[in-house]
């Protein structure tokens, strides 16, 4: 049905009709169709897809939002715009979305992503970061953070009280 049409539109990546078709599909009432449209946008890539990805990140359906998160890295957007979209999800997404966005920031290994990771590290070491994403921040910094961010996390971990056996697992 409509989901198959969205997938077919992705194969039209060389034509000018694909972005217009995908914009229509993006507004479809069925989440599976919107998700298929995002997969098609992945194939088209670039700035043409960015407005639809931004809209999908605000979609009412979590599956659509999670698919959009997975598409960001494949679009070939400038790092500042991709990192900005991910940072917005870290601020306002669900726990699962925040975790995925943090992981994606770690994989970007760019100055813009490292700036966002730096903010998260600052919140972590000052005990102002929600527990559900603490381990994700540590892993993202290990993957794509700066040496200073890795040192801050190592210092933070070393400063945990040894008398509290639960402290090492607080992130979980």
Average pLDDT of span 102-109:
94
CA dist list (Å): 57 to 67, 71, 114, 142, 144: 9, 10, 21, 26, 23
Contact (CB, 8 A) for 156 and 134: no
Average pLDDT of span 132-159:
96
CA dist list (Å): 164 to 17, 63, 154, 161: 61, 38, 18, 6
Task: Note if the pTM is more than 0.95.
Answer: no
Q: Would you report the helix, strand and coil content of the chain in percent, each value rounded to 5? A: 70, 0, 30
Q: Is the pLDDT of residue 104 over 60?
A: yes
Q: Which of 151, 87, 93 is nearest to 116 (CA)?
A: 87
More confident residue, 89 or 32: 89
pLDDT tens per residue, range 20-38: 556 655 577 888 888 888 8
């Amino acid at each position: 049905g409509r989901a198959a049409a969205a997938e077919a539109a992705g194969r039209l990546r060389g034509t000018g009709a694909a972005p217009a078709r995908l914009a229509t599909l993006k507004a479809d009432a069925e989440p599976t169709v919107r998700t298929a449209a995002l997969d098609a946008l992945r194939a088209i890539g670039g700035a043409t897809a960015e407005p639809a990805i931004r809209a999908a990140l605000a979609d009412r359906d979590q599956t659509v939002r999670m698919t959009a998160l997975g598409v960001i890295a494949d679009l070939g957007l400038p790092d500042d715009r991709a990192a900005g979209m991910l940072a917005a999800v870290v601020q306002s997404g669900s726990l699962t979305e925040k975790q995925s966005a943090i992981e994606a920031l770690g994989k970007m290994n760019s100055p813009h992503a490292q700036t966002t990771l730096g903010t998260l590290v600052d919140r972590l070491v000052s005990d102002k970061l929600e527990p559900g994403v603490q381990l994700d921040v540590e892993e993202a910094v290990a993957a794509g953070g700066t040496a200073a961010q890795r040192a801050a996390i190592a210092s933070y971990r070393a400063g945990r009280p040894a008398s509290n056996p639960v402290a090492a697992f607080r992130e979980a």
